Structure 1
Amino acid sequence: MTLELPVSVWYWITALGSVGVMGPVALIIAAWLALGYRWTYAGAWLALLGVASGLVALSKIAFIGWGIGMRNLDFTGISGHALMSTSVLPVAVFVALLPARGPLRALGVAVGLLLGLAVGVSRVVLDAHSVSEVVAGCALGAVVALAFVRFAWRAEPGKLAPMPVAASFAAVVIALHGVPVPTQHWITEIALGLSGHARPYVRASWKVKRPRAPEHRTEVQAADPDAA
């Protein structure tokens, strides 16, 4: 499945949704909201995104550490790329267009959601996630974005012009696009530390209902003094 696009293009699209890109954009959104509008908007935005990101992390930790998932849906955790792209991109466009009329802002939010959906599709095309994992990520991201847009829709326009705000977002995306951030490694380490297992659960064996029972770290170290 390539949807008539070269694989290199799908990799470019998928990199747009990485935490290394969307995370800084999310923080800049909060900064602009605090500077040009009200701190309550910045706080609400970070709180919504933080809760959603926590759900993504918990879903991944549950599978990696304990093998908790849904085999019938091929679900091992919410897609972080899908969540970040469908939550951050619509809100970034919305904040840039806050001084504009309502229909233009609504159109911008729709465009942001479509861009986020494209990132989600790229995760399926590249076999990084199953359809169910991407659907969950996109749905959760859309809820975050639309909840914040509804909350901030009637914000009084501040002193911020659309161009500087949009330029700051573009600069971050261009500067950080493709820069790797080992979030999966960090989550795996946390999952193993919490579960006490030496090895993570993996999708391949879990799907065929032959999950490899990971030894506890203490058992591995007792058998092999040099084991990490």
Structure 2
Amino acid sequence: MNLFPSASTWFFVTAFGSVGVMAPLAVVVAAWLAVGYRWKYACAWLGLLGVASGLVALSKIAFIGWGIGVRDLDFTGISGHALMSTAVLPVALFVAALSMRASLRVTAIVLGLVIGVMVGVSRVVLNAHSISEVVAGGLLGAVVAVAFACIAWRAQAAKTLSPGPVAASLAAVVIALHGVPVPTQQWITQIALELSGHERPYIRARWKVQNYRIPARRTEALAVPFAVA
């Protein structure tokens, strides 16, 4: 008997970390914070997640456009799936349990982190990211989640919120959007090429070779044959 999950199972798990699922979930979390607690908590949550997401985008743009990475660690950019899953899922469960006692809030955060780690593992298993990229994303996401939990730990509800409706709405978002594709990598690649002026993006396999040549700039493409990265 093969106890190791099948590829289809890992694809199912990895889809939970998609921006198409996690971004709407993060917005719903912010909405519950604004309605049930105070706007400052919603702003703090979106601000923390926004900064972390910006770091992910910058790391990817740096590699795709200029080949900036760490070869020894096989690092070409922070994993967005790992970041989003380890940041959004713990906070979503934390907010659902925010009106409960402290031990249940801690349990909710830990459960969210465990699920987020599994999403990160799926990225490595599916060869979508290296271990270093997933670890970077997971750690960054965990920092965001724990930081927000510290900020909102003593939040006082503006109105009575039952955990049931909050949890049900969050689950509905995940179920409805699971598997919906969002071409974030294409968008980031387009931005990176526009900023760098290169005709083609850097590619991990060829970037790892020491004696590669950088892609030609668009102004040079017609005069100089393109050298793959």
Taking structure 1 as the reference length, the TM-score comes to 0.95
Seq. identity, % = 69
Per the TM alignment, residue 159 of structure 1 is displaced from its structure 2 partner at its CA by: 1.9
Distance, in Å, in 2 between the alignment partners of 1:113 and 1:72 is 28
Structure 2 counterpart of 1:44, which letter? A
Per the TM alignment, residue 208 of structure 1 is displaced from its structure 2 partner at its CA by: 1.8
Per the TM alignment, residue 211 of structure 1 is displaced from its structure 2 partner at its CA by: 3.2
Per the TM alignment, residue 183 of structure 1 is displaced from its structure 2 partner at its CA by: 0.2
Question: How far does the alpha carbon of each residue in 1:110-152 deviate from its partner, in whole angstroms, 9 at most, with x for none?
Answer: 0000000000000000000000000000000000000000000
Structure 1 counterpart of 2:203, which letter? V
Q: Is 1:7 matched up with 2:4? A: no
Unaligned runs of 5+ residues in structure 2 are: none
Question: What does 1:147-186 align with in structure 2 at a 5 Å threshold?
Answer: 147-157=147-157, 158-186=159-187
Q: Is 1:80 matched up with 2:80? A: yes
Question: What does 1:17-28 align with in structure 2 at a 5 Å threshold?
Answer: 17-28=17-28
Moved over 6 A (4+): none
Structure 2 counterpart of 1:200, which letter? P
Distance, in Å, in 1 between the alignment partners of 2:182 and 2:3 is 27
Question: What does 1:78-227 align with in structure 2 at a 5 Å threshold?
Answer: 78-157=78-157, 158-220=159-221
Question: How far does the alpha carbon of each residue in 1:85-123 deviate from its partner, in whole angstroms, 9 at most, with x for none?
Answer: 000000000000011000011011000000000000000
Per the TM alignment, residue 160 of structure 1 is displaced from its structure 2 partner at its CA by: 1.5
Question: How far does the alpha carbon of each residue in 1:158-212 deviate from its partner, in whole angstroms, 9 at most, with x for none?
Answer: 3211111111111111111111000000000000000000000000011122434
Taking structure 2 as the reference length, the TM-score comes to 0.94
Structure 1 counterpart of 2:56, which letter? V
Unaligned runs of 5+ residues in structure 1 are: none
Q: CA RMSD in A?
A: 1.5
Distance, in Å, in 2 between the alignment partners of 1:60 and 1:125 is 20
Q: Is 1:31 matched up with 2:40? A: no
Q: Is 1:64 matched up with 2:59? A: no
Q: Is 1:42 matched up with 2:42? A: yes
Question: How far does the alpha carbon of each residue in 1:24-51 deviate from its partner, in whole angstroms, 9 at most, with x for none?
Answer: 0000000000000000000000000000
Contact 1:19 1:81 in 2 (8 A): yes
Per the TM alignment, residue 218 of structure 1 is displaced from its structure 2 partner at its CA by: 2.2
Contact 1:52 1:141 in 2 (8 A): yes
Q: Which moved more, 1:44-53 or 1:212-221?
A: 212-221
Distance, in Å, in 2 between the alignment partners of 1:212 and 1:103 is 55
Contact 2:216 2:224 in 1 (8 A): no
